[in-house]
Structures are given as structure tokens and as C-alpha cells.
Amino acid sequence: MEKTLKMIQSVSSSCTKIDAADVMVSVDKKDLHKVCEALYKDGWDYLINLTAVDNVENIEIVYHISKSADMEKFMVLKTNTTDVENPIIETVSDIWKSANLYEREAYDFFGVRFLNHPDMRRLFLRPDWVGYPLRKNYDNTPNEGIPSKVHDMDACEDVPSITLDRHGEIVENHTKLFGKNEYVVNFGPQHPSTHGVLHLRVSLEGETIKKIDPNFGYIHRGIEKMMESMTYPQMLFLTERLDYLCGSMNRHALCMCVEKAMGLEIPKRAEYIRTIFDELNRIASHLLGWACMCNDMGSITAFIYGMRDREKIMDIFQETAGGRLMVNYYVIGGVAQDIHPNFVNRVKEFIPYLRKMIKEYHTLFTGNPIARGRMINCGLLKKEDAIALGMSGPNGRASGWHCDVRKIAPYAAYSEVDFKEILHDGGDTIDRYMIRLEEIEESLKIIEQLIDKIPEGDFRAKVPAIVKVPAGEYYQRVENARGDFGVYLKSTGDKSPYRIKFRSPSMVAVSGLDPICRDTKIADLIMIGGSLDYVIPCIDR
């Protein structure tokens, strides 16, 4: 880490180290692009997250970076601009492809414009929205800022960008997204196979896809903004509304983030229960992902089979926690209540049952010649592209990228269990398909190891009545069913956070649709969408 710091300092004199424990480096915005380029050359090729924070006197951009070859390395890079009225910062989207959408998001919520970014449209809000809602001075009285005129869809096709001209002056450019003669079809927001209210604008040539432009925001609820006025225990309930299929894991991330910040010691029992719940949730999510992908390919029977077995997990959840989809089980310091007396037995019955069923899935669907013909060599994602897009999780592992947070930075009880990180190296649709079924088996293995060893004791630590997180910045990663889910938390020591941001692995997956699907057929777009297994509420937040 010292070496990296020295390397950065050699590039930029303005670099200062802020935090002793984490490597948190601040860089002047003039040197940002240079520093990022140097970091990228040094192997820091995975931009985990990019977020903006409004500190009133300045606007800060925070980059969380890691090395794809050595995922345990983690650093935070910061830069800021004091020009709050018209903040402009150089883009890093030419270095890390994944920055593209993050920077658009920062523009949408904070009004930070990125120099040389090819596409400075709003990401979630309408193009004619007034103001930047996550700014601290934003007037959020109802109906303020909501445009009254009828929204013109053509406005979405206007792509603004800012560049410097020869004299160093900033010029604004406008281009059109699609040519006049392109055959553009809207997939969604109401479409059976976009897995939610995703809107894809697809340029077609016959049946062949030429370009895809994802359009988000149809289920944007402003969760990050809402959380800024909530207490920490209240916030937990919203985390499960992000990616509703792996709600427990998202909640786990926020719980751990707060617990670590407060220095809380979690009872062993709670950690075990959480791990088992996480894995059950992962199985449920993968089953649904598998089922929906089969449905996308036209095999409705497989869909029903997947849903049927997922239902069994929902029943187990319901018995202990009361909830089925949104379990609402974890709280800060442990879990809400002890496990149900039947829990252990039912989980033990479920493990052999699911193993048998997975065999059936393989005979029913995996071996099917039509399914194999559709999936093999279709929708290739190379490892370099997966890293450049930041596509972690099962999708990244299908391309051969070792990126399982459970292995890289073990949390809860993952360090005590023996499991394999499934890696494939093909990167095509069948790899993404197989990896989910194989991960279910690994998850079953994890549960099998833990279920008999749940230690006696408290299920919840003693937590102060009013949870206050000490001032500072925290970042917690978990591996949810779709990949590297992260919580960035900035606290001023208050009972609600100053800024909170979730890293959505689904957003990354959707950003990969365009490069993966070019020159494939419409049917492949649907199938690849199913294989990437994104959940829209997690993208829109």
C-alpha cells in the first residue's frame, strides 16, 4: 500500500493521505485523470463504486478501487470541487468503463458534470427534471421541481456532453442517440422479460441487434435520499426493497456497516444464523434466476419447477421471521428473534430434496439440445470486459474472474466453512447458466456445515436505544446473489446518515447488455438478459 501511495505521489504532488487504516487518498481535481491512469496501469483495474457527496462547501467524488488480480487490495480515492454552482470534474469513464453509469448517476443527483464523458444524460430522473435531488440545498417540497409540460420521448435521444476546445474553454456538444433511419424498438418498461420496469431501446436491423440503450428510473423511489432523514433501524427496512430477491444479504451489508462503525461485537449465534439465511436467500434467488431464464427461453415448465422449489425456502423463512420475500430479520447487533424450533429440521430436510431436484433440472433443461444450441457460444463476455464493466458476481465468475467477496473478505461465518468458488472460463450464456446451479450446490454445502453447529447463546448484542454512528466514512461489501453489493456510509455522528449509497451489481449487469448483445438476435437479448439476472429496483433505488 505504501508503494501505491508513493506511486500516486510521484504523479501528483497534490496527493494527501487522509486515513491511516484504510488507504484513503485525496487528490486535486486537476490531477485526477493522471492519477487514475497511473493507478490503472498499476493494476487497479476494477472500479467498485463511484459516488458523489455534497459537503455544502464543496462536492466530493469518492472512488472505490480494487485490483482484479488481487481482490483483497482496496483503496478509496477522493477528489472535490469547490465550485458548487457549476461543478465540473474530469471523467474517468475512458479508464474504467464502469464509471460511465456511475458518473451519469452523479450528474443526475448532484449536478456534477464530467468533462469528456460521452453521454451526460440524466440516468434516473426525467430529462426535464429541475434541480438535483441529493444536493443538501434541494427544495423537496412536494410537486416542486416536477415538470408540468408533457414529457417528450425524443428528449431522451438528445445526448449532451462537455469537452474542452483548443483554447481550454468548455463547450457543450449535442449528438443524437439513434440515426434517423434506425428501426428502434422499445423493450419495456412493460414487457414480460425485462424482469421489472426496465426500459431498453433497441436498434434493430431485421432481427439483429445493433445498439441497446438502457433507460432507468421507472421504479426510482429515492431510497438514498429517504434514508438521509431516517434513523438507522428504520433504514434497514428499505434495504430489502432494493434487490428484493436477495433482501437479507443487502440488509446484512448495511447491518455490518453500522456494526463495524460502532464497534459492536456480534454474538456467534447471530453470525451463524445470518450466514445460513444469506445462503438460503442466495439459493432462492438463484432458483428464481434459473427459472426466469428458462421462461425467457420459452420453457414455462422449468419456470414453474424453479418457483415450486423456491417456495419451500419461503416457507422456512416465514416460520422463523414472518416474512417471505422481504424477511426483515436482521437488525443492528444480530437478528430480530431466535430461530423457530423447526428451523434446523426443515433446513435439513430441504437440502437432500433440492439436490434431487437439481439433478432433475439438469435432465429436464440443461441437457436439452435446443437449450444447449441456444446457449452455447452465445453472449460472450470476456474476462477483461467483465472486469472493465465491473461485472462481479456469478456473471464475472462465469468469465473466469475470481471475485467472490465471501472468499476475498470473509464476513459473518464464511471464514469457518469450506466451500468452493465456482469459476468457469467460457463467459458465454451456458457458463452463466451453469454457474447458478453449481452455486446452489455450494450454498447447500455451506448450510450443511453450519446447520448443526449453530452455537448457543444470545442472538442479539446489546445495542444502545438510539443508534448513532461515529463520524467518518465506511464501506462494507457483501456478496449477494448478483455480485459485489456495497454500502457506502458517511456519517457526521448523527442518528441518521449524512450520505448513503448502495453499489448495485444489477446496474453493472445491465450496462453489460449493450456490448454483449451486439450482433445477436432479439431472442438472444432476452435470453442473455435472463442469464445476467438483474433486478430492476436495485438499479433504480
Sign of CA dihedral 426, 430, 432, 434: negative
Number of C-beta neighbours around residue 461 at 10 A = 16
- What does the block give as the cell for 131? 434541480
Nearest-angstrom CA–CA distance, 351 and 63: 41
Q: Is 388 helix (H, G, I), strand (E, B) or coil?
A: helix
Q: What are phi and psi of 378, to 5 degrees?
A: -120, 135
Answer whether 185's CB lies under 8 Å from 205's CB: no
Write the interaction track for other proteins spanning residues 198-217; mark x where CB under 8 A is met and - where it is not: ------x--x----------
In the complex with other proteins, which residue's Cβ is closer, 238 or 371?
371
Using rule CB under 8 A, residue 5 touches other proteins: no
- Residue selected from 373, 455, 470, 493 as contacting other proteins according to rule CB under 8 A: 373
Using CB under 8 A, pick the residue from 69, 88, 146, 185 that binds other proteins: 185
Question: With binding defined as CB under 8 A, does residue 374 bind other proteins?
Answer: yes
Nearer of residues 209 and 386 to other proteins, judged by Cβ: 209
Alpha-carbon distances of 273 from 110, 113, 198, 336, rounded to whole Å: 39, 45, 34, 11
Which one, 96 or 303, has the nearer CB to other proteins?
303
DSSP labels, 248-317:
HHHHHHHHHHHHHHHTPPPPHHHHHHHHHHHHHHHHHHHHHHHHHHHHHTT-HHHHHHHHHHHHHHHHHH
Told to check if 370 binds other proteins by CB under 8 A, we report yes
Comparison of 156 and 522: residue with beta carbon closer to other proteins: 522
Among 371, 389, 398, 451, binds other proteins (CB under 8 A): 371
Q: Give the range of 44-52, 143-151, 290-298, 399-407 binding other proteins by CB under 8 A.
A: 290-298
Cβ at position 306, least distance to other proteins in Å: 11
Compare residues 11 and 522 and give the one whose CB is closer to other proteins.
522
Among 17, 135, 191, 407, binds other proteins (CB under 8 A): 191
3-state SS assignment for residue 421: coil
Among 19, 70, 183, 322, binds other proteins (CB under 8 A): 183
Q: Distance of CA 427 to CAs 208, 377, 400, Å?
A: 21, 9, 7
User: Does 192 sit near other proteins (CB under 8 A)?
Assistant: yes
Euclidean distance between CA atoms 436 and 442, whole angstroms: 10
C-alpha 412/C-alpha 535 separation (Å) is: 25
Query: Long-range CB contacts (< 8 A, 24+ apart) of 449-455?
Result: 449/417, 449/418, 450/272, 450/275, 450/276, 450/413, 450/416, 450/417, 451/276, 451/344, 451/347, 451/348, 452/344, 453/272, 454/269, 454/272, 454/273, 454/276, 454/339, 454/344, 455/268, 455/269, 455/272
Residues 6 or more apart in contact with residue 91 via CB below 8 angstroms: 33, 99, 103, 114, 115, 116, 117
The minimum distance between CB 540 and other proteins, in angstroms, equals 22
Does 193 contact other proteins by CB under 8 A?
yes
- Does position 73 bind other proteins by CB under 8 A? no
Q: Does residue 364 bind other proteins (CB under 8 A)?
A: yes
Decide whether 207 or 349 has the Cβ nearer to other proteins.
207
Among 107, 272, 365, 474, contact with other proteins (rule: CB under 8 A) = 365
- DSSP assignment of 520-537, as one string? SBHHHHHHHHHHHT--HH
Residues in the chain: 541
State which residue, 209 or 276, has the beta carbon closest to other proteins: 209
In the complex, minimum distance from the CB of residue 183 to other proteins, in angstroms, rounded to a whole number: 7
For other proteins, which is the closer residue by CB, 343 or 365? 365
CA of residue 50 relative to chain centroid, distance: 12
Binding to other proteins in span 291-320, by CB under 8 A:
294-302, 304-305, 308
**Nearer Cβ to other proteins (321/371):** 371
For other proteins, the closer of residues 69 and 185 by Cβ is: 185
Beta bridge partners of 88: 113
Within 490-529, which residues bind other proteins (CB under 8 A)? Answer: 521-524, 526
Q: Which stretch binds other proteins (CB under 8 A): 42-50, 189-197, 226-234, 448-456?
A: 189-197
**Residue 219 within binding range of other proteins, rule CB under 8 A:** no
Distances (CA, A) of 204 to 182, 188, 317, 523: 7, 15, 44, 12
Looking at the Cβ atoms of 15 and 371, the one nearer to other proteins is 371
Q: 382: alpha, beta or left, given left = phi > 0 and alpha = psi -120 to 50?
A: beta
Residue 461 makes contact with other proteins by CB under 8 A: no
We find the least distance from the C-beta atom of residue 410 to other proteins, in angstroms, to be 38
C-beta of 74 vs 305, nearer to other proteins: 305
Residue 121 CB, nearest approach to other proteins (Å): 23
Binding residue count for other proteins, defined by CB under 8 A: 31
Q: Which stretch binds other proteins (CB under 8 A): 370-378, 419-427, 472-480, 499-507?
A: 370-378
Binding-site member from 55, 81, 234, 368 for other proteins (CB under 8 A): 368
Note the Cα 17 to chain centre separation in Å: 28
Binding residues for other proteins (CB under 8 A): 183, 185, 191-193, 204, 207, 294-302, 304-305, 308, 364-365, 368, 370-371, 373-374, 521-524, 526
